[in-house]
Amino acid sequence: MRDIFVPDLDDADTGIQGRMANMLALLSLHDPDVRCHLDDCSIDPGFYSIRWLTTLLSREFLLPDTIRLWDSMFASTHKDNFMRYVCVCMVMIIREDLLKADFGTCLRLLQAYPPTDVEKLLESSRALWIYESQVTLACHKGGISLSQALTTIAPPPAVIMAYGLHGGLALDQIERMRQDMMQATSQGQRRFRSIGRNMTNTSATAGKSFFGNFFNSKSNSNKKS
């Protein structure tokens, strides 16, 4: 944190320029559409990220939410990564508003961040870090390509964007999920029809048994009389 305010360390990884560059690189990796749109709108990263990083987001959230963020940050063993992933997920959460906005609206959204669920923000940033770690490990240790890793490793549900994919899901993963849902629906319908037939047969058998006993007892009583 101290290095952010040391001019001689501005270009170091721990300095303000280095932290901004790392944050922008992470945004470019996981949400290139938003990064390109902000560039097209001439939104310099310094317009918002300097404020976010130097104040540890204390100006973006109410005091209880700020305390919740700081509590998680100080408990983290990777504090630099924590801030980087949280800031990138902040941009992702409002990505739909940013993508349809011009310079003025984008700047207002980023400099006066809208109210958001801090728990959701923390969960999204944690999920993104976990998913990226899993994919990186699979590529480096498993010797597979990035595309293979993205189609074999399921992202956590809280991921907003990852590697330019909504929810981190590749197209074939989405297709598999759609097919699984259709199969589950079809199985449910067959099970429901089977239960309906069993109930009908049971009701018919019970009706026959009841009325059969009724008429037999009626017949026996007539014979006795």
Alpha-carbon distance of 20 to 84, in angstroms, equals 9
- Is the whole-model pTM more than 0.85? no
Q: Which of 7-21, 32-46, 66-80, 156-170 is the most confident on average?
A: 32-46
* DSSP per residue, 174-214: HHHHHHHHHHHHHHHHHHHHHHHHHHHHHHHHHHHHHHHHH
**Are 84 and 26 within 8 A, CB to CB?**
yes
**Are 95 and 30 within 8 A, CB to CB?**
no
Classify 48 as helix, strand or coil.
coil
Strand (E) or helix (H) holding 165: strand 165-166
Return the minimum-mean-pLDDT range out of 65-74, 87-96, 214-223: 214-223
Give the chain's mean pLDDT. Answer: 83
Instruction: Give me the pLDDT at residue 6, please.
Output: 72
Per the document, the length of the chain is 225
Residue 159, token pair as written in the block? 């991921």
More confident call, 212 vs 109: 109
Torsion angle of the four alpha carbons 108, 112, 118, 120, in this order, in degrees rounded to the nearest 10: 0
Classify 161 as helix, strand or coil.
strand
Question: Which backbone phi and psi does 155 adopt, to 5 degrees?
Answer: -75, 150
